[in-house]
Structure 1
Amino acid sequence: MSKYRSDTLNFKESFGKTHLFGKTALVLSSWFGVGLIPVAPGTCGTLAAVPLFFGMKYIGILYSVIFLIVFIPMAVWVSGISKTLLGRDDPPEVVIDEVAGFMLALFLLPLTWGSLILGFLLFRVFDILKPFPIGRLEKIRGGIGIVVDDLMAGVYANFCVRVLLSVLFFMTN
């Protein structure tokens, strides 16, 4: 049995044995089951966050800030609960951290396909390679440790997209 298949069984077993708050945490942390996709769950979780990018652009800056102020602590909370229920430090099924990080990667960027694609690619690169200090942040215990490295990868990606868009703007004018 593959590593991912046994993780999925552990997820389903944990889901079946837990209470309502635990079930809610598992559903949210897996981003409504996207984290159960057996190949590249982090990348799939990031892709599943794309509709949020468009939604945040639609609701405007103020409500986007409020959304992130609520969403990020909720992501930490459900990640911590899911970590405990699944019995692993950073379960691959937990992809809400990728969603939160990707939202920061795209925060206040222009609503263009270029921004979206650059943000996606750079976020995944920083999330996978974990340049300093992202790798160290991952060592923090609990839900904070699961989420904070992705938030920093999002900040790095956001900064780099802004630099690239600025350079491209000045090169074309």
Structure 2
Amino acid sequence: MLTVEQILAAQKAQVSTLFDLSSKALASVERLNELNLQAARASLSETASHAQAVLGAKDLQDVVALQSAALQPMAEKAASYSRHLYDIATGMGAELSKVAEAQASDAQKQFVAAVDSAVKNAPQGSESAVAAVKSAVSTASAAMESVQKAVKQASELAEANFNAVTSTAVSSAKPAARSSKSAA
């Protein structure tokens, strides 16, 4: 049975975890806002420069060449922005996963301790029931570990796919930019 001190300690730990996660979430929001501000500033500056260059073009071929030259950097910048967004999201996801794993581990330890305590106080003849409970706890622990491994593998695969798609998109923009320059 839980004592008042154990309940208070658990509540304090939960509040501490909540504030820690809130702080990390705010840090992620700050990083996201900073990224968006940087992107907006860069976009405004580049748009102004590009507009000046287009206004200074002498003929249609110059305008087409300027437009074509702008395509590749745009694709690379979009890919870079996406990578930064992905890094921010995966960083926060990793923090949440760490906390969830720690919470699950603590809960499992408390449950095992409660089972052990119950086993010590079990009446004679209940050894088979105790063995069944211990087996169930062991099976649940193994299942939880395999789920955590599967989630990590899926996350790694998703990251690899994201990186592949991003690099493919940037690579695809290069020939498009070159071909439109050739057409000019």
**Comparing both structures, which one devotes a greater share of its residues to helix?**
2
Q: What's the TM-score, normalizing by structure 1?
A: 0.26
Higher Cα Rg, which structure: 2
